[in-house]
Amino acid sequence: MPRKLLAQLADTGSKPTSEALTALSGLDARALHDFQLVWANTKVARRCEILLALQPLLEANATLDFSAVATAALADPDGDVRTAAVPLLFDDVNPKPATLLLDLLQSDPHAPCRAAAARELVEYAALGATEDLPKNMMARIEAGVLRAHRTDADPNVKRTTLEALGYCLLPEVNEALLAASKTSDAKLLASACLAMGHTCDSARWSKLVAGSLDHAVDFVRTAAVHACGELQLQSAVPQILELAMDGEPDTVSQAVWALGEIGGTDARAALYQLQGLAEKDAELSEEIEEAIATLELLSGEIDFDLMDGTDDDDPDVEDSPRRKAA
């Protein structure tokens, strides 16, 4: 990594440039060593600023790899720096960062860092639920999040580990979700709704989730809407449509997504109704179009041969693979 870029990162008189930040991707051992020499003499606030600035870059470009920088930052004595490094670790191809996250969840003294680790472990648990993680790693995640949910006193950790448990096939999960569903803590209830959705067990949780659509707190309703989408609750479509037409922006977005996941004639009609009302909202219109596409995909209505421009009658054209409807 060029020294001028390292110097620019350490210069608190200006914001870190995109060039300097992007140069932190894929550091080899020597470049990482040079970076750490500068990092050690950089103020805490600047270290946090750099790590936080890397996150939107990573979200916009999945080919970037800041794992070397993030892993090094986990050894930082400042808890806020460690917390800012955590979201840079997740890799949906490589499960190794999950081990680091489990260590943080179990032993980091800074509660926000433990909560951030739990948030990333939700994503790994989701991978494990679809068998995209080695079974031994999923077993470690299940044990780790269950232990933290039971023993960690921090409410953010308890809530987030509950969401992760929704993806775990453990006998203790149903008991934990049922207990959380009875809470007066709106944030915990919202996490419980999300976890119920993660289970994909509509027979067990549909009634509790649907009941939360009428909750007085908007973020609980939003979580319930998301859960309805995951559970594919056809009976909830009228309430979801009502929330989409007169709800907070987050709730509206979740409602549109949920309708696409639920599918069916009623959900389709609801999306078309919303489409007619959202003509002047470009972002919402795009979300609705994506939801309609999802609905058609899951219902098997999309002809991939036509999308790919192939012709089944042409012997010289190989059949393209089709994604099965979920």
pLDDT tens digits, residue range 189-229? 999 999 999 999 999 999 999 999 999 999 999 999 999 99
Residues 6+ apart with CB under 8 A from 74: 82, 85, 86, 100, 104
Rounded-to-integer distance, Cα 197 and Cα 76, Å:
36
- Torsion sign, CA atoms 249, 118, 132, 197: negative
Residue 316, pLDDT > 50, answer: no
Torsion angle in degrees (nearest 10) through CA of 49, 54, 56, 61: 170
pTM over 0.75: yes
pLDDT of residue 306: 47
pLDDT category, 303, cuts 50, 70, 90? low
The model's pLDDT over 135-192, given as tens digits with 9 standing for 90+, comes to 999 999 999 999 999 999 999 999 999 999 999 999 999 999 999 999 999 999 999 9
CA 207/CA 305 separation, integer angstroms: 40
Instruction: Please say whether the dihedral angle defined by the alpha carbons of residues 78, 84, 90 and 91, taken in this order, is positive or negative.
Output: negative
